[in-house]
Chain A
């Protein structure tokens, strides 16, 4: 059998040698892959609906995307993903044709062409200190037919021409210690206002044309303020004192500054809670939030305050929208007994509702966080309104006339973690009619295909063929398939929402916002952390549903309270949720399951206690059985220490806790902090399957791979060279690579790369690790491979030992045997810088591997592992060539056909996940970032199945023709025989 496999594999190798790149034909695009485009959680939105033509909304998001969306369907007209460090601070429209964005802390201003998103100009604004960045595009500030853009960023105020982005004038405020919070423009004068310290309010008046300082005024308040201030058009500011008990109106009328103060308790009776000024900009009005109540306060021209209304249970306020010269409206959303009310009111005419609608929004979307409104003129000349809503789960809705016109699931732009689940098994009893129809369809489809093969298809037929191929209902079925291509991708987003995506076409099967990860009083900033497979029912218990463990935390610090949720993978129902009494620093899924196939997990808390889940006596029993074999290591990147720990005993608080354990420290590796700093660690995937422990060399010799799951790859850089590329000289830079056994703490291999620096991206699989770094001497990126072999098994060479079964190669091994290790390594240049590296994984680990490299261009490149073979030599012998060793080259080739994302881009690529299909040749690949991309790849081509476009009809036709020919020739020969006999 092994022989057969070998013959077969060598044959395959031969096949694959002939075609190193497995590429795709144009008509195969979209057949097995799908691509979804997202933008992320919207921060700012600007509508552009004037004039006729396409109505659109321009948005900037937390994923640093600038996009123009179709207001009718929510589709993306155009989109630009700025870099991760290029945070968008403001977006607006200038001249009616440019979209202006301010980003990177107020230092980069760009103009994009409104219809097609082409960049028109970009100007980089210099400044000396970090500050709040403000983008202000005044409607009526002109200089020579040119609209001015006012930008405050990095302590400087710039006036910029909106035609070409030229800086017309600049005023530096870095010298003054003012924290500028407002830029206000009145026709001729620009006011720059802000606090110095916490109680002095400064106002600078500048000439709008030249930027000259006209006046400098300030007022000292007799108390400290809370820092936040609100501008109330036209000339007032509202500030709270630091106890949040007083509300102060600062009036800057006609160059004089004066202030009025008022106790909040005078405005409202129950003012026990913290008051917060909402940042909605409304003329003559301000909104003050106390507890869950919002006070709308009228600010009179004299600076007097009067409560106009109290609104309970409000969720979101919009900015004011001016619909005519003197009419300003705004919208707010109110929650009342599970109903959502959207109200739009006039700022000046408080009594009348312009619009009051009840909305029905799926409660899975959570609360409404932001609302942007836009108006349109109906046929009867009255005003209609549409509202763009940003929900708690980061989705985006457009509401018009009480209906959701469209929605976008933009939470999927911030995927945090991914796992997979099988689909349910197909039930018996498919109706006959369906089969018949399918049979007819099947035949029709194949006849069409046959036409295509024989090149007699008309253009309409060709379209029909393509449609048939793309829209195969087989793809998106909700049941398991024979080849294991159909699965559920379960993704956790930053908003704490869990989605299940179908691998066939990427549609959302279910989604759930976890209650434990909802924003609440106790949980201010919930974040989703990780997602694990909790229970995967065995083959014989197919009626049970698998379940998923989701770990989330309230807030970014390690000590924030943590919650576990258990979800049913088929339905998305929350089975159980636990709020943990301890913190979560690390989760270790153990390789043991209990009788119900629940996986045992150890959760390590901040105080280095381990907690066992599930908390059942059975799990505890299993752990006790394996007690001495469970180890744990911690990487302290800041201290440069890696420590190994082993379980010691139960925790003893007041009583003995069965499910809590303390550790004893076994070993520690302390790296010299003056010369090395940990920048990357990588270990093997726990679910990786390895087919064989031997590597066969050309001369039938055997090398034994060192296949251990307990090894860790650590990359250390010199502290001086741990910054960006270019900040260190080659002499300062140093990259040290370690391969460490995490049970015993033994350093198995150590290597230094002189003159190299990070960032290091690495992937560990079987017995090899591939890592990517920058070589400062060569000014190029490099990729290195290290293969680790076990020398202590090398003497297993006597064939009689194998014949008689007298070898110890399958007996359990322990790290304490101190195996002898040898490592081979080789480095190659690589053109791209890299965002992520993954390796393909297949069901049995027989198929050769490909590295999947997420390039800087947001594409995924598949590189054969054979290119990263340490045994490549300049002139491989004939035998080595036959084995598939490629002649040595100094750099890795980039074959443009081997981009698995073909012409698409996975914008903002952050991670790649590979999942084995049931079919050995095939691996499923999911790449995520702002976009999602999924495809199937076969590193050694699909040797174990016919390709999708295999023509069954042609085969059938051939068989029929052959049988007919056989029959006819038989009859003919019989006849001839008879005639022969009669002669």
Chain B
């Protein structure tokens, strides 16, 4: 039961593997608050006190970490689906 073709499932597999690796890596880095990602945090334009700013920074890091890990999990699902589709397509070509 092939939902998508051979090439689509292959692309899906490669993208998913890349997504899992990179998003896991990014998730871990966000969790340990790596300063390289300081510009990627969801922050407001203006803060009244530095304590607010620091709290927001910590919250932003955690939030992004979890977002990346959720994305990684979704890519695990996509990897599963793509691999299944890939093998479905392989079987049909052998039958022909």
**Chain B associates with chain A:** no
- Where the two chains meet, the residues of A that have a C-beta atom closer than 8 Å to any C-beta of B are none
